[in-house]
Structure 1
Amino acid sequence: MTGAGAVGTDPAVPRAGGQGPRAGGAGLLDAVRQRLAASGAEPTPARVAAALRAQGRLLGDAEVLGAAEELRSELTGAGPLEALLADPDVTDVLVSAPDRVWVDRGAGLERAPVVFPDAPAVRRLAQRLAAVAGRRLDDARPWVDARLPDGTRMHAVLPPVAVGSTCLSLRVLRPRAFTLEELTAAGTVPPGGDRVLRALIEARVSYLVSGGTGSGKTTLLATLLGLVGERERIVLAEDSAELRPDHPHVVRLEARPPNQEGAGLVTLRDLVRQALRMRPDRLVVGEVRGGEAVDLLAALNTGHEGGSGTLHANTAADVPARLEALGTAAGLDRAALHSQLGAGLSAVLHVVRDADGRRRIAEVHVLERDRAGLVRTVPALRWDPAGFERERGWARLRALLGGAL
């Protein structure tokens, strides 16, 4: 198996090794690649040098090292995408065609100067990464959602489901959470907003972080969990382990898909139920998107204060409707869902991503019941560059915070 194809012959295309290994020609490198793949040998500099000698070519040390690094990234790393994933500013790498690679460095998508030689090269890379994650990706199962050993979130779709070329999406998981001070400096939290968030955690308010894909929900939640007292035990239940709060007592549970025989499935709902038996001081669901919504709300109504999670929603006002849809699909009727929601959840922090790529807390809502007994959200704080603007729900939020502000 040759893994991903090499980066194209364009000398402007960056390579992980930094030193261009193309001095020997693309055909020479392909021959070395095939020789190493056939033997199953790790592409160490010594083996690459031996393979080059077998082709009748002698190269300098720098060229051998460059060729070894490029081949290593193809056979064991992320191929031509490795340099992008190593960039500390990159949060997402997206491949939609061999010559269409995009990255997100926090200011929106931008074209990356990386080119695959052809569509099969993208497919090979996606299949190899899926295999590294222990998942199957082929014509019978043409998509995969997995976590790589370094924590990178991977999603891939093969043709013909993906028209024209394999689509590969990689979300980089950074090894540490941001501090509240860093989020304030970055503009995610407005001036003075840190006091509200600290009070929210100290008062053990149950909350959800809502927002769209890539809006920074997980980043904000990880930061907030880092504010939890050191004597408290946090139990995380996630479909894909992404939360890494800076806290001394965190138990992380991750869902598992079935194996090729269809056995071994562990759902997020299973994890929430198990987490309740693990003496959590704070129960956290990384992403509420299914029947686990019912179990989380039930937990928040049985003495597990301060629980939290993330939820995809267009606005904070849409959160009750989203939870209603999830609860109904799990067999909970509307009245029961709203009863659980009103008694167990207290606040919603909604994050957005501006046109310039900046992520920020757009609004903070509290929950209240209307005359029909249905739960709705009420704006309490709204984003302003100078600090949160107070809305009509502020009095209720302040009461939830124990009058701390």
Structure 2
Amino acid sequence: MDLGSLQKLLDDPAVSEIMINGPQKIFVERGGKKVLSDVTFSSEEELLGVLKKVYEKSGKRLGDDILYSDTCLDDGTRINVILFPLSRFGISATLRKFSKAITGLEDLIKLGTLSQKAADFLIACTKGRINILFSGGTGVGKTTLLQGLSHYFGTGERVITIEDAAELKIPQENLVSLETKSADRDGKGEVTLRDLIRNALRMTPDRIIMGEVRGPEAIDMIQAMATGHSGTLGVVHGNSPKDVIARLETMIMMAGLDLPLSEIRKMIVSTINLIVHVERLQDGNRKVTYITEIRGIEQEEVFLNDLFVFDKLKIDENGHVIGELKPCIRYFPTFFPKFQKMGLLSEKAFETK
């Protein structure tokens, strides 16, 4: 599909994100820095025509009564568009490219996103089928890390992905990709994440992968984990592992269940095992900064046990952050004895040297 002036930016491997603030102002992110590009469109009509083509190909509509929407290109590029009058200055669009240069954990290790020791630990956790949430801000690489770990799913596993806009590329033979649907112009036909999770439970999944958890569907995800669907992976926004817990509590409350906070915390602790937190540092590089176990309840609060922490040592003369993601444990994780028996982990995994 020819995307007109945008094609040049999509084909540029140095560009990771395209930000459109109308036809004449198109910014790009290169190497973690946002700059104004030389690409423009002649008019709003030309720009909207190109974007409509993309949405039509993915089976979605844009324009008329649909003033904002998400979709994906075939290569995994995520697209969000919002139109006037919601966007006061006209068409606004964000295209976040899927990096073709990153195909697995090995590439992330080479980039310094995480250490070999941390990667080995996460591989063991994936093979051991514990439940993991990947947290962080927008565009930090949560989904990329999840996809890297998906290479370590069992070959015979039936995997079901659930997303608002299908973008996950999971290398699995027995894979089902589910995507939400907006209501039509009569307000009918909406299919939500909650609907899809409930239906996925009837499809005999070995793993459920949540593209992003941001609302009341958190309770459905947790209930799926509680009913024997181990190995569930999900993505959530949050500023730290502690913040993720607070957000989960809020999202579960959004479901309208009459549950005290103490019960909600027990549900979280009994189902989710690990939080992997990713950040974009001030130099633009993306790093795993925490791998944290959700260990239990202590003094009525969720007790978090940091297993790996990014140690920021200094900032060099070029402004690059120098540091290392390394083991930093007070307690071995509760699943450690089980993983030892399975031959997945030993105490060497947590040695600091």
TM-score band, normalised by shorter chain: 0.7 to 0.9
Aligned partners of 1:218 and 1:242 also within 8 Å: no
* Structure 1 residue 309, shift from structure 2 partner: 0.4
Aligned partners of 2:65 and 2:185 also within 8 Å: no
* Aligned ranges 1:177-196 → 2 under 5 Å: 178-196=103-121
- Which residue in 2 is equivalent to 1:87? 12
* Aligned ranges 1:106-185 → 2 under 5 Å: 106-138=31-63, 140-148=65-73, 151-173=76-98, 178-185=103-110
Aligned partners of 1:320 and 1:376 also within 8 Å: no
Aligned counterpart in structure 2 of residue 314 of structure 1, from 205, 221, 239: 239
SS where residue 110 of structure 1 aligns?
strand
- Which residue in 2 is equivalent to 1:341? 268
In structure 2, C-alpha distance between the alignment counterparts of 1:234 and 1:128, rounded to whole Å: 31
SS where residue 253 of structure 1 aligns?
strand
Aligned partners of 2:212 and 2:235 also within 8 Å: yes
- Which residue in 2 is equivalent to 1:264? 189
* Structure 1 residue 216, shift from structure 2 partner: 0.5
Over 3 Å counting, the alpha-carbon distance change for 1:138 and 1:239 in structure 2 is: closer
* Structure 1 residue 324, shift from structure 2 partner: 0.7
In structure 2, C-alpha distance between the alignment counterparts of 1:148 and 1:229, rounded to whole Å: 28
SS where residue 182 of structure 2 aligns?
coil
SS where residue 13 of structure 2 aligns?
coil
For 1:366, the aligned partner's letter is E
- Which residue in 2 is equivalent to 1:389? 327
* Aligned ranges 1:183-332 → 2 under 5 Å: 183-332=108-257
For 1:363, the aligned partner's letter is Y
* Structure 1 residue 401, shift from structure 2 partner: 4.1
SS where residue 286 of structure 1 aligns?
strand
Percent identity, aligned pairs only? 33
In structure 2, C-alpha distance between the alignment counterparts of 1:198 and 1:126, rounded to whole Å: 39
In structure 2, C-alpha distance between the alignment counterparts of 1:262 and 1:151, rounded to whole Å: 29
Per-residue CA distance 1:132-153 (angstroms, 9 max, x = gap): 4444433543222233455432
When the two structures are superposed, what TM-score results if normalisation uses the length of structure 1? 0.75
Per-residue CA distance 1:317-367 (angstroms, 9 max, x = gap): 111111111100102322332121111111100001122221111111111
Per-residue CA distance 1:10-69 (angstroms, 9 max, x = gap): xxxxxxxxxxxxxxxxxxxxxxxxxxxxxxxxxxxxxxxxxxxxxxxxxxxxxxxxxxxx
Over 3 Å counting, the alpha-carbon distance change for 1:379 and 1:400 in structure 2 is: farther
In structure 1, C-alpha distance between the alignment counterparts of 2:178 and 2:44, rounded to whole Å: 36
Aligned partners of 1:233 and 1:281 also within 8 Å: yes
For 1:196, the aligned partner's letter is F
- Which residue in 1 is equivalent to 2:297? 370
Aligned partners of 2:132 and 2:273 also within 8 Å: yes
* Structure 1 residue 246, shift from structure 2 partner: 2.4
Aligned partners of 1:176 and 1:246 also within 8 Å: no
In structure 2, C-alpha distance between the alignment counterparts of 1:110 and 1:103, rounded to whole Å: 6
Per-residue CA distance 1:109-159 (angstroms, 9 max, x = gap): 232221222444334433443444444433543222233455432211222
Aligned partners of 1:317 and 1:378 also within 8 Å: no
* Structure 1 residue 167, shift from structure 2 partner: 0.7
Query: Which structure has greater strand proportion?
Result: 2
SS where residue 325 of structure 1 aligns?
helix
Which entry has the higher C-alpha Rg, 1 or 2? 1
Deviates more, 1:137-146 or 1:107-116: 137-146
* Structure 1 residue 279, shift from structure 2 partner: 1.6
- Which residue in 2 is equivalent to 1:356? 283
- Which residue in 1 is equivalent to 2:28? 103
Query: Which structure has greater helix proportion?
Result: 1
For 2:187, the aligned partner's letter is G
In structure 2, C-alpha distance between the alignment counterparts of 1:89 and 1:227, rounded to whole Å: 29
In structure 2, C-alpha distance between the alignment counterparts of 1:129 and 1:306, rounded to whole Å: 34
In structure 1, C-alpha distance between the alignment counterparts of 2:64 and 2:194, rounded to whole Å: 29
Q: Which runs of 5+ in 2 are unaligned?
A: 312-322
Deviates more, 1:98-107 or 1:240-249: 98-107
When the two structures are superposed, what TM-score results if normalisation uses the length of structure 2? 0.85
For 2:218, the aligned partner's letter is A
SS where residue 287 of structure 1 aligns?
strand
Over 3 Å counting, the alpha-carbon distance change for 1:142 and 1:89 in structure 2 is: same
Deviates more, 1:332-341 or 1:130-139: 130-139
SS where residue 388 of structure 1 aligns?
strand
Root-mean-square deviation (Å) = 2.4
Per-residue CA distance 1:348-389 (angstroms, 9 max, x = gap): 000011222211111111113334444242322102444413
